[in-house]
């Protein structure tokens, strides 16, 4: 029935499967929602969307697909989506209209004629949500006014207390800020970073393992045999390299949020700062940039079980990466890419997080170079990108 | 048997549809939303509206799926065995029923609330897939199969601390409780404080939404905090005039402790109030 709707949802990345689709059909058969567009919208949303991040995308697709409401005659690609809603509309009308009104309908040329006109009106209406005198309070001059048709809410029939619905619900796009492609906040970052949690039992065995004790005691024919295990701890270790200054100034807030979230999430988190590209030394405190730590020392200190996260916009002159002496701050004996490769060789689980939007990456030469160096493990600093990055760190 | 909100709970249209779909198709309903928007209360209200008993299973970080089905109390049995108790011969004496079992065997189908499922281990929801789907499970110790007499209404809440597995999500209906708009909020408050003076309500709501809009708050106050605050205002008998006056001598709004739960937020709020006062001079 709604095959196109289903596929378009999948296309925009709402993970619906056949199972959800069947659930929706089943629910419709069971008559769960009232026969109106809004009820259908709510039902479809509850059945097909399983994560608030996808709600906004769902709304958009819903709006796009069911615009077909307008193309009642089924021209163009309107076949599927036009068919159903017309049916729905008819049902509502049948339920609501009085006998007298039904006769009026007949006078106007019958149902089909009415539906056609209605469809035209709807098509017109789509363009201007604010509405106008044509649609509301016509006092019986328009065929639709007579039946209390409220075009803005796509609502046929009277319904108390709904006057606030100025625009179709799905067109209001209330869930926009929950979409993970867009916004980032400390809490969201934390949720994303939590992907990286990996609990393991490390340290001294000091917690009673009840199940183990029971098992051991049972197999000991009842002689108590206490078993102890170490406590579970989050064992992930993270090295965070942050680009500061220059073009990164625009992204300071984002990086601060990422940093504060990361610090709360990981017990083993070491952070270092660099400017544009990592060279022979980095620093830990931005106020005392003079106190440098040789990068070699960092390389020696932290074992291969650390996961490397580099945050930077990778926007610089290509010379800063590929040439000795290319740094804007000092004379570097070895080019930045040598240092980058050393870092990547020391810690094989590595990602580069880039706060600039992904669509801009290809326009910057240096971004392309860095991306190649990190073997395409560069992710945008959005929730969704962070999520992918954390997955890459877990498996890669 | 449709759910339409109760006299103590305002259910929006979309919530109603989701709840009724879950009841009609006997699938679990997964509810998410900002803390304090009434996720847990929803289950209680559904139970009340349908006239069914409510069973609550609170999930903690150490909760395992098995505990919801049953637990085999080996330690008691061991002790009884060593004391020579007769009960020891029947292993069924040491099977402790979990919440799911209780819900399955109940006389009339209850409403089962699985609260804060995201607190548990990441594998937890997966371990319950079959049990929630088919509403039956097998007890290894006694070799019996427990089957639900009637399928209970299952409500699951999550605070988004962990992602839930896809396979689990596919089996649920989903509803995200959005933060109520001012109009809905007015109805919610009216349900809780029917005798509240109109002016006071309007002023309090205005200030509440103002506070929520302050950028950079760590924890934005939600419905439950608003209700607490209004309760306090009533107890202290704060008049609408005092509320509105915003006495320049006093920097913050009365009883703000009910709304802001974090000292940084309070400081931020005081600073803003201070700036506002300076500007007004």
Flag residues of chain B having pLDDT under 70: 1, 243-253, 279-281
Using CB atoms, pick whichever of B30, B166, B172 lies closest to residue A15: B166
B25: which chain A residues are within 8 Å (Cβ-Cβ)? 23, 26-27, 30, 32
A51–B13 CB contact, under 8 Å: no
| Per-residue confidence (pLDDT) for residue B154, from 0 to 100 | 93
Q: Which of B173, B175, B220, B265 to mutate to test the interface with A (most CBs of A within 10 A)?
A: B173
A175–B176 CB contact, under 8 Å: yes
- B35 CB within 8 Å of a chain A CB: no
ipTM over 0.90: no
Reading chain A (396 residues) residue by residue, the pLDDT tens digits are 678 888 888 888 888 888 888 888 888 888 877 667 788 888 888 888 888 878 888 888 888 887 654 333 333 333 333 344 455 555 555 555 556 666 665 655 555 665 666 566 555 544 433 334 344 333 333 434 333 333 333 333 333 333 333 345 666 666 655 554 444 555 666 666 766 666 566 667 778 888 888 888 877 777 788 888 877 766 778 888 888 766 777 777 777 777 777 777 777 888 888 888 888 888 887 766 777 888 888 888 888 888 898 988 888 888 888 888 777 777 788 888 888 899 988 888 899 988 888 888 888 888 888 888 888 889 988 878 888 888 888 775
Q: Which of residues 68-107 of B touch A (CB under 8 A)?
A: 74-75, 78, 81-82
| Per-residue confidence (pLDDT) for residue A361, from 0 to 100 | 86
- A80 CB within 8 Å of a chain B CB: no
Question: What string of H, E and C letters represents the secondary structure of chain A?
Answer: CCHHHHHHHHHCCCCCCHHHHHHHHHHHHCCCCCCCHHHHHHHHHHHHCCCHHHHHHHHHHHHHHHHHHHCCCCCCCCHHHHHHHHHHHHHHHHHHCCHHHHHHHHHCCHHHHHHHHHHHHHHHHHCCCCCCCCCCCCCCCCCCHHHCCECCCCECCCCCCCCCCCCCHHHHCCCHHHCCCCCCCHHHHHHHHHHHCCEEEEEEEEEECHHHHHHHHHHCCCCCCCCEEEEEEECCEEEEEEECCHHHHHHHHHHHHHHHHHHHHCCEEEEEEEECECCCEEECCHHHCCCEEEHHHHHHHCCCCEEEEEECCCCCCCHHHHCCCCCCCCCCCCCHHHHHHHHHHHCCCEEEEECCCHHHHHHCHHHHHHHHHCCCCEEECCHHHHHHHHHHHHHC
- Segment B240-263, tens digit of pLDDT: 777 666 554 454 567 777 788 777
- A234 CB within 8 Å of a chain B CB: no
Q: Which of residues 129-168 of B touch A (CB under 8 A)?
A: 160-163, 166
B176–A222 CB contact, under 8 Å: no
B13–A42 CB contact, under 8 Å: yes
| Per-residue confidence (pLDDT) for residue A172, from 0 to 100 | 60
- Write down the domain spans for chain A: 3-178, 207-232, 236-395
- A29 CB within 8 Å of a chain B CB: no
Q: Which of A24, A50, A218 to mutate to test the interface with B (most CBs of B within 10 A)?
A: A50
CATH of A236-395, picked from 3.40.50, 1.10.357, 1.20.1050, 3.10.450, is 3.40.50
Using CB atoms, pick whichever of A19, A52, A164 lies closest to residue B183: A164
A43–B21 CB contact, under 8 Å: yes
B162–A194 CB contact, under 8 Å: yes
Query: Nearest-CA neighbor of A318 among A299, A335, A304?
Result: A335
| Per-residue confidence (pLDDT) for residue A112, from 0 to 100 | 61
| Per-residue confidence (pLDDT) for residue A174, from 0 to 100 | 63
- B170 CB within 8 Å of a chain A CB: yes
- A19 CB within 8 Å of a chain B CB: yes
B172–A50 CB contact, under 8 Å: yes
Question: For A170, which residue in chain B has the nearest alpha carbon?
Answer: B14
B17–A194 CB contact, under 8 Å: no
B180: which chain A residues are within 8 Å (Cβ-Cβ)? none
- A256 CB within 8 Å of a chain B CB: no
- A45 CB within 8 Å of a chain B CB: yes
* Cβ proximity of B143 and B170 under 8 Å: no
- A345 CB within 8 Å of a chain B CB: no
């Amino acid at each position: 029935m709604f095959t196109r709707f289903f596929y378009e949802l999948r296309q925009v990345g709402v993970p619906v499967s056949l199972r959800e689709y069947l659930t929706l059909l089943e629910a419709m058969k069971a008559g769960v929602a009232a026969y109106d567009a809004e009820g259908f919208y709510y039902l479809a949303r509850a059945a097909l969307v399983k994560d608030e991040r996808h709600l906004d995308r769902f709304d958009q697709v819903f709006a796009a697909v069911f615009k077909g409401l307008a193309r009642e005659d089924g021209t163009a690609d309107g076949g599927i989506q036009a068919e159903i809603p017309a049916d729905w509309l008819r049902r509502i009308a049948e339920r609501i209209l009085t006998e007298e009104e039904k006769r009026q309908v007949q006078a106007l040329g019958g149902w089909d004629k009415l539906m056609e006109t209605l469809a035209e009106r709807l098509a017109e209406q789509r363009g201007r949500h604010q509405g106008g005198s044509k649609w509301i309070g016509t006092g019986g001059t328009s065929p639709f006014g007579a039946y209390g048709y409220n075009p803005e809410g796509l609502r046929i029939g009277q319904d108390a207390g709904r006057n606030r619905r100025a625009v179709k619900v799905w067109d209001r796009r209330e869930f926009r800020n929950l979409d993970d492609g867009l916004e980032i906040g400390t809490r969201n970052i934390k949720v994303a970073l939590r992907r990286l949690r990996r609990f393991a039992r490390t340290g001294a065995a000091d917690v009673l393992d009840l199940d183990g004790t029971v098992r051991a005691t049972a197999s000991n024919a009842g002689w108590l045999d206490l078993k102890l295990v170490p406590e579970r701890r989050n064992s992930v270790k993270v090295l965070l390299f942050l680009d500061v200054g220059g073009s990164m100034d625009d992204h300071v807030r984002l990086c601060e949020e990422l940093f504060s979230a990361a610090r709360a999430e990981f017990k083993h988190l070491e952070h270092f700062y660099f400017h544009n590209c990592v060279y022979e030394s980095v620093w830990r405190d931005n106020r005392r940039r003079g106190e440098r730590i040789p990068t070699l020392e960092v390389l020696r200190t932290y074992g291969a079980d650390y996961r490397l996260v580099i945050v930077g916009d990778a926007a610089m002159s290509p010379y800063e990466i590929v040439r000795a002496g290319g740094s804007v701050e000092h004379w570097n004996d070895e080019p930045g890419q040598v240092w980058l490769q050393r870092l990547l060789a020391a810690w094989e689980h590595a990602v580069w997080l880039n706060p600039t939007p992904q669509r801009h990456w290809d326009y910057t030469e240096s971004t392309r170079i860095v991306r190649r160096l990190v073997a395409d493990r560069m992710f945008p600093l959005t929730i969704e990108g962070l999520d992918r990055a954390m997955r890459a760190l877990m498996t890669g | 048997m449709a759910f339409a909100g109760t006299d103590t709970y305002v259910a929006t249209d979309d919530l109603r549809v989701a709840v009724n779909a879950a009841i009609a198709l006997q699938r679990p309903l997964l509810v998410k939303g900002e803390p304090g928007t009434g996720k847990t209360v929803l289950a209680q209200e559904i139970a009340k509206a349908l006239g069914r008993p409510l069973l609550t299973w609170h999930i903690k970080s150490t909760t395992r799926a098995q505990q919801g089905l049953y637990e085999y109390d080996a330690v008691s049995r061991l002790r009884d065995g060593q004391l020579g108790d007769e009960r020891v011969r029947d292993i069924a004496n040491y099977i402790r029923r979990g919440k799911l079992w209780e819900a399955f065997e109940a006389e009339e189908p209850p409403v089962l609330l699985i609260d804060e499922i995201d607190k548990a281990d990441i594998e937890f929801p997966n371990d319950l897939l079959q049990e929630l789907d088919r509403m039956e499970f097998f007890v290894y110790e006694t070799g019996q199969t427990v089957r639900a007499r009637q399928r209970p209404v299952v409500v699951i809440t999550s605070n988004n601390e962990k992602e839930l597995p896809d396979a689990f999500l596919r089996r649920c209906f989903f509803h995200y409780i959005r933060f109520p708009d001012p109009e809905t909020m007015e109805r919610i408050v009216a349900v809780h404080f029917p005798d509240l003076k109109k002016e006071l309500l309007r002023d309090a709501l205005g200030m509440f939404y103002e506070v929520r809009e302050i950028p950079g708050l760590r924890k934005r106050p939600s419905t439950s905090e608003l209700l607490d605050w209004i309760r306090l205002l009533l107890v202290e008998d704060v008049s609408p005039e005092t509320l509105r006056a915003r006495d320049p001598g006093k920097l913050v709004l009365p009883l703000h402790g009910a709304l802001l739960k974090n000292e940084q937020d309070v400081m931020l709020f005081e600073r803003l109030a201070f700036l506002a006062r300076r500007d007004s001079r």
